[in-house]
Amino acid sequence: MKTFTQLAEDWERTYSAKGGRLEAQTEQMPEDDPAEWVSDFLRWKRERCASRPDKDDSTFISALLLDFSEWCANHQSVPATRQTFEVLLDLEGYHIKNGVASGIVLTKYLWQSRL
């Protein structure tokens, strides 16, 4: 897996090679392999989330992804794309519907639900 710096350097080389012009890509980007993020995802989930099957908890995927991305940045890791992140949530058994993941909540918001 490439680091953010490596990805930025690759982009800069491509941009410079085109004489500073950005051109539309005609080939589709390869899909990320969710297996590359499983370890980080599980660590993040353990540190920052709660699964409470006895409650009706749910969180917007965008909020979960933002928190995961911040966690990755603080741990010198590369965040996953939303598509890959949704696959990781699905693999962990969280039901996804209308941009919301059921059964998972960020622990920093638990105080609002009055445990």
**Span 32-72, pLDDT tens digits:** 788 888 999 999 999 999 987 677 788 999 999 999 999 99
For the chain, what is the mean pLDDT?
80
Q: What is the pLDDT of residue 27?
A: 44
Residue with tokens 């800069």: 12
CA dihedral defined by 8, 47, 92, 66, rounded to 10 degrees?
A: -40
24 band by pLDDT with thresholds 50, 70 and 90: very low
Q: Is the pLDDT of residue 15 over 70?
A: no
Tell me how far apart the alpha carbons of residues 36 and 40 are, in angstroms, rounded to a whole number.
8
Q: Is this model's pTM higher than 0.85 or not?
A: no
Q: Is the pLDDT of residue 21 over 60?
A: no
75 band by pLDDT with thresholds 50, 70 and 90: very high
